[in-house]
Chains A and B, each alone.
Chain A
Amino acid sequence: MTPHPPSAEDSHQENETLRQENEALRRRLAEAEQGNEALAKGQIDAVVDATHQVPLLLRQAQDALRESEEQFRAMFDLTSVGVAQADPVTGRWLAMNPRMCLITGYSAAELLAMRIPEITHPEDRQRDWDLFQGVVKGEAPEYKLEKRYIRKDGSIAWVNVNMVVLRDAAGKPTRTVATIEDITERRKAAELLRESEERYRHIVEAASEGICSLDAELRITFANGAFARMLSFLPEELLGTPLERYAFPEEFDEFKRHMDVRRRGVAEQYERRLRRKDGKECWCLVSGAPILDLEGRFAGSFKMFTDITGRRRLEEQLRQSQKMEAVGRLAGGVAHDFNNLLTVMFGYSDILLQGLEPGPLHEAMQEVRRAGERAAALTRQLLAFSRKQTLVPEVLDMGDVVSGLSTMVERLIGEEIKVSVVVSPNLGRVKADRGQLEQVVMNLAVNARDAMPKGGSLIFELQNVELDDADTVTHAEIKPGPYVLLAISDTGTGIDAETQNRIFEPFFTTKEAGKGTGLGLSTVHGIVHQSGGSISVYSEPGQGTTFKVYLPRFAGDAAVRRPVSAVRKALPTGSETVLVVEDEAAIRKLTNLILQKAGYTVLLAESPDAAEQIAGSYPGPIHLMLTDVVMPGMRGPELAERLLRLRPDLRVLYMSGYTDNAIAHHRFLDAGTEFLQKPFTPLALMQKIREVLGSSGP
């Protein structure tokens, strides 16, 4: 301090300095107070330690920082997506969370030594890098990409990448940050779903069943090819159309009933017709199931259609043949009784005729006799139809049979119709009854004539055919194998479909009353089937008709037939002893009368038991047993076998209205068995007895 007295100026300056210092002190005080206040309010994060020259974070700030850091760490580490940082220039990995390591299969250390393209799938590499560069250059704020990584084990990981770039204050990219979501499983699931859908679509498309789905208003929302083909539409033509359009109007009620059932949530199966584009029907087995929405409300239905038109046709054929079978059985039973009655009528008629002098009474008796013959012919037809007629099959050349008949056919059908016979070479033989085959040919020829009132041509064709399984589907009762086909074609009026269905039914006729019995074609049907064959008809109205008769081709050697003795005109007589076994009293009585008149000694038995008794007790020789085939208790062949044990020289002659069931199983009596078909005349009986006894008479 200087010893000068203080001047006014000095004093003024001093005052000013003091004022300024005061001011500064006051401000520092205010600031300190304000600092204290901020501290008290917790608004301070750090205090600088002047000694160590480091800032010390206050506890609260430390906690908050640590917490924030931990939260970030946890998010980084625990997040279910991969997080990684990379160098924006080189693409080298700079940091990643454990999830990223899991996704790629590499450890963090391994990844840190790699670049992004190194683990990217080669096919995705260029695109990925272009996008990466685009974001780094600022051309796009971020990028999103589904791409593939090649994992460490070589497998592929599909990932969804989202990337952004971090920049410094100068805008220079410092690092990229990306989230990497593993979508491999999701893609696999989607792929599996797609494959599964494709597989099901393929199955549905390839199915031979028609498949469609309907919405709640019963409009078609899907139809496969098979369903469209059933209706002869294209699948896309069906879409959006109401299913009702493909029902027959007369079945709308039934259609609505089925749909009501579906609305109640019930599935069912039923048979129904669909109406095709051309108006024709297609019979289907329908499986319908309701489709319900999430709330369980009716949302439509799913339907599967199996075409059963073919099956129904077969069923129809089966019903038809069963009906024929039943009618045949009835006819056979009736015919059997008729034959017994006719035998009696013939017998007594002939006896009366022998006793009557020529005159009106003789004429009247002749008429009765002729009526009987017509009745017998009708009965034979019934039996042939019912397949109960006794056939005598022989090995035949069908060409011979048809050629042999052609003269008679020409005479029968008149000059307006040209008849031709075409026989293919090496035609096989058949085993059948000649008389019956002739009946078949004549019957079909007469039918053809009736179909051609103004003339035409009739062609008989014979050829060998092999029927396979497919052919036999349409011939319900026939087995696959070699056949001889006789096709008889006319150029007549043809037959409509309705008539074709019923043409082989007995008593079905299109002819005027009195012109046909309705038995002709049913007889043909019966004969052909009894011979193991089949017959079918093909016809178009106005185009003519072809009947095709298939007979099994015979492979074995021809059986040798016993020579038949010449027919004798005179009523033959005899003196041998004949045992007559017959349960019908009228026939027994008649036979007794005829045989006695002819000089035979007659023993009568009303049953097989009685016959056995007589055979055992009669003292003299018995030359012949004349026996019925079907009798209560024992059948003719069995009785013959027993009696032959007692009397080995006994000859046996069977008589029957039809063969019994046991014989019917073989279809025929063995060739060589002596047999007399009822009804028989006294002459036929006498001739047959002489034929049997002739060679070994007493």
Chain B
Amino acid sequence: MIVIAFLKKFWTHLMGCFPKNRIEIPTHIDDNETIIRAIFHPIFVSSKKGLKFQAFLPGKSDDAEQRKRVSVYRKNYSTDSACKNSAISIKMNQQSYYGFAAFMSKHISNINELAGMTVQAKMAFTPMDISNKYIEIQNNKIYTTDKGIPMHAEIVYNKEIELDNPNTGHRLYADKLIEITKNSVYKDIEPLLPNWHQEEIKWKEI
């Protein structure tokens, strides 16, 4: 019994270290795909108030195009462990990896249709290589086992964040995503260790 339990645990651990079997990742992101966003503390989350709107807004890049884009993972074409291992490799000054927030791809189009939204967004498949450079997807097939971040995608806003002045539309959009992910924020209890050992990351109904 002990041997069987050990082998089962070892197998689970082994499977957690590797992405799912080699599957081609479609360029189109289906409405029902689970999308997960890596959360860093303290910039994206506070212990008192939970997720902040910054969690779903682009960073402060000098590149206007980058100020439209928010990195996420396509969970259906990866594993929780692979996403975590990618997230903990991200080095942000004075920020530490906290966990993940999950939503469905369709939530992006749902928010676009809400009254009062002055900013729109879409999901885009943007796989990255081992050097965090975008991989051209026009003539390439991308597989779940490719090196780098093959499951990388982005929320792409139709307007870039403006520096030094208000971005009400973007904040309102991010606020809607916070509402949607209210029950789907996963704090990693072992943030310094590789691999995900907690409940499966998925979007939970509000």
A, B bound:
no
Q: Which residues of B contact A (CB under 8 A)?
A: none
Give me the interface of A with B, judged by CB distance under 8 Å: none
